[in-house]
Amino acid sequence: MKVPFVSFVPMHKEIENEVLTKFKKVYENNWFIQGDEVDKFENEFAKFCDAKYCVGCATGLDALYLILRGYDIGYGDEVIVPSNTYIATALAVSYTGANPVFVEPYIDTYNINPELIEKAITKNTKAIIAVHLYGQAADMDKINSIAKRHNLKVIEDSAQSHGTLYKGRKTGSLGDAAGFSFYPGKNLGALGDAGAVVTSDEKLASKIRAIANYGSDRKYHHIYKGINSRLDEVQASFLRIKLRNLEKWNENRRLTASKYMEKINNSKLVKPAVGNNTNHVWHIFAVRTEERDEFQKYLKENEIGTVIHYPVPMHMQDAYKDLPYNAGDLPIAEKISKEVISLPMWYGMTDDEINYVIEKINSWK
Ligand SMILES: *Cc1c(COP(=O)(O)O)cnc(C)c1O
């Protein structure tokens, strides 16, 4: 049996007719950037996140960058970022001219350890980016209270946490503002690149809307040196249809995860741990093993797809040679990068597929 790491087939089959009918409408409408579909999606997604405003943009990276720009973060500033995240979190900071300062995660939940944040704060620190890695929420109460004490902004990187609940509240509503990605593989994915900022800060939302649209609040009048990062009608119309199914699709991932959790029992693997105050939308189901490369090779031989999220921590990337970090400085991130491996996880996996993955994993020696 072949089990790919990800498949869109069951998801896309379910909505195919609705999507194609909608695309015809958008096509005939002859309005392609920031129209009615974008408006509606923004309202629906803000509501979904229990927040007041949503501003669509081109990517998740842009969403984070736009939030930082909206708070005037730039040269000379520092922003706290987890040491184990996708590089976009750090790049958003670098694009503004500010520097990312890496803080280590917990080894069990893989989310940033708030106890270590305070030590990393300097007089230049302006914000903390909390990443809800793999689909469970970071420890937001602790992060918010540290931020409050030091007068810092809290930005959620919600690229992997569409629909996650923290103490009953949605990610996207837990800090000052949140960046979402709708990269195709995310739990809510477009048919290409797309992203959004979610916030209940009205001033920030309107400033970001302007920055993302060449810095203009009226056509040909530019109040900021903005960028072009806009959501388009085709993507918004597709995202609206998918959003209506998201809770159901997340629930299906949860069911798959619970089967993995219950039945995977190979003692060479560490299964994921879910924090106390959060649920999980299982964007990624990551396990750890000291023999990761052998494990990946074994699964490949058995036609089971896996991906490493992520093999090289940011401070060891060539792109960040300029930052004052060396190998060994962030041992938890380094350990995770050597041991972590993500198992197949997508909406509509069959019991046969799930059981095959479990069986093969349990018989790995
Ligand atoms: C995917 C992702 C991003 C970036 O999103 P893009 O839409 O690809 O720009 C940012 N942060 C995290 C944690 C991600 O997983």
Among 211, 240, 269, the domain boundary falls at 240
State the closest ligand 1 atom to the C-alpha of 88, by its place in the atom list counted from 1: 10
pLDDT at residue number 30? 95
Give 88 Cα–ligand 1 centroid separation in angstroms. Answer: 6
Q: Tell me how far apart the alpha carbons of residues 342 and 307 are, in angstroms, rounded to a whole number.
A: 5
pLDDT at residue number 252? 98
Q: Considering just the CA atoms, what is the radius of gyration of the chain in Å?
A: 20
CATH of the domain at 52: 3.40.640.10
The model's pLDDT over 119-145, given as tens digits with 9 standing for 90+, comes to 999 999 999 999 999 999 999 999 999
Domain of residue 233, residue span: 8-240
Indicate if 193 and 51 belong to the same structural domain. Answer: yes
Give 87 Cα–ligand 1 centroid separation in angstroms. Answer: 8
Among 184, 216, 240, the domain boundary falls at 240
The answer as to whether 1 is a domain residue is no
Residue owning the nearest CA to atom 6 of ligand 1: 60
Q: Which residue has the tokens 């806009």?
A: 230
Give 170 Cα–ligand 1 centroid separation in angstroms. Answer: 18
Mean pLDDT of 312-331: 96
DSSP-assigned letter for residue 81: E
Number of structural domains in the chain? 2
In whole angstroms, how far apart are CA 182 and each of 82, 158, 201, 298?
A: 21, 10, 22, 32
Give 60 Cα–ligand 1 centroid separation in angstroms. Answer: 5
The model's pLDDT over 84-101, given as tens digits with 9 standing for 90+, comes to 999 999 999 999 999 999
State the closest ligand 1 atom to the C-alpha of 195, by its place in the atom list counted from 1: 7
Q: Structure tokens of 238?
A: 């597709």
The answer as to whether 224 is a domain residue is yes
Mean pLDDT of 193-205: 98
Share above pLDDT 70 across residues of the chain, in percent, rounded to a whole number:
100
State the closest ligand 1 atom to the C-alpha of 186, by its place in the atom list counted from 1: 1
pLDDT at residue number 321? 95
Pocket lining for ligand 1, CB < 6 angstroms: 59-61, 85-86, 88-89, 131, 157, 159-160, 181, 183, 193, 195
The answer as to whether 265 is a domain residue is yes
CB environment 218-248: b (16+ within 10 A), e (fewer): eeeeeebebbebbbbbbbbbbbbebbebbee
Q: Tell me how far apart the alpha carbons of residues 280 and 257 are, in angstroms, rounded to a whole number.
A: 9
Indicate if 87 and 32 belong to the same structural domain. Answer: yes
Indicate if 179 and 272 belong to the same structural domain. Answer: no
Name the residue of 61, 83, 229 to mutate for ligand 1: max ligand atoms within 8 A of Cβ.
61
Q: Tell me how far apart the alpha carbons of residues 359 and 291 are, in angstroms, rounded to a whole number.
A: 18
Indicate if 212 and 346 belong to the same structural domain. Answer: no
pLDDT at residue number 33? 94
Indicate if 134 and 233 belong to the same structural domain. Answer: yes
Name the residue of 68, 91, 183 to mutate for ligand 1: max ligand atoms within 8 A of Cβ.
183
Indicate if 216 and 252 belong to the same structural domain. Answer: no
Residue owning the nearest CA to atom 5 of ligand 1: 60
Indicate if 145 and 275 belong to the same structural domain. Answer: no
Whether the Cβ atoms of residue 303 and residue 276 lie closer than 8 Å to each other: no
The model's pLDDT over 99-115, given as tens digits with 9 standing for 90+, comes to 999 999 999 999 999 99
Indicate if 199 and 87 belong to the same structural domain. Answer: yes
Indicate if 201 and 258 belong to the same structural domain. Answer: no
CATH of the domain at 262: 3.90.1150.10
Indicate if 180 and 105 belong to the same structural domain. Answer: yes
Give 198 Cα–ligand 1 centroid separation in angstroms. Answer: 15
Give 61 Cα–ligand 1 centroid separation in angstroms. Answer: 6
Q: Peptide bond before 183: cis, by omega within 30 degrees of 0?
A: no
Give 184 Cα–ligand 1 centroid separation in angstroms. Answer: 11
Confidence of residue 233 (pLDDT cuts 50, 70, 90): very high
The model's pLDDT over 22-47, given as tens digits with 9 standing for 90+, comes to 999 999 999 999 899 999 999 999 99
Indicate if 233 and 297 belong to the same structural domain. Answer: no
Confidence of residue 14 (pLDDT cuts 50, 70, 90): very high
pLDDT at residue number 185? 97
Q: pTM higher than 0.85, yes or no?
A: yes
Indicate if 188 and 271 belong to the same structural domain. Answer: no
Give 309 Cα–ligand 1 centroid separation in angstroms. Answer: 12
Mean pLDDT of 228-234: 97
In this structure, how many other beta carbons lie within 10 angstroms of the beta carbon of residue 150? 15
Q: Tell me how far apart the alpha carbons of residues 107 and 124 are, in angstroms, rounded to a whole number.
A: 28
Residue owning the nearest CA to atom 10 of ligand 1: 88
pLDDT at residue number 81? 98
The model's pLDDT over 264-311, given as tens digits with 9 standing for 90+, comes to 999 999 999 999 999 999 999 999 999 999 999 999 999 999 999 999
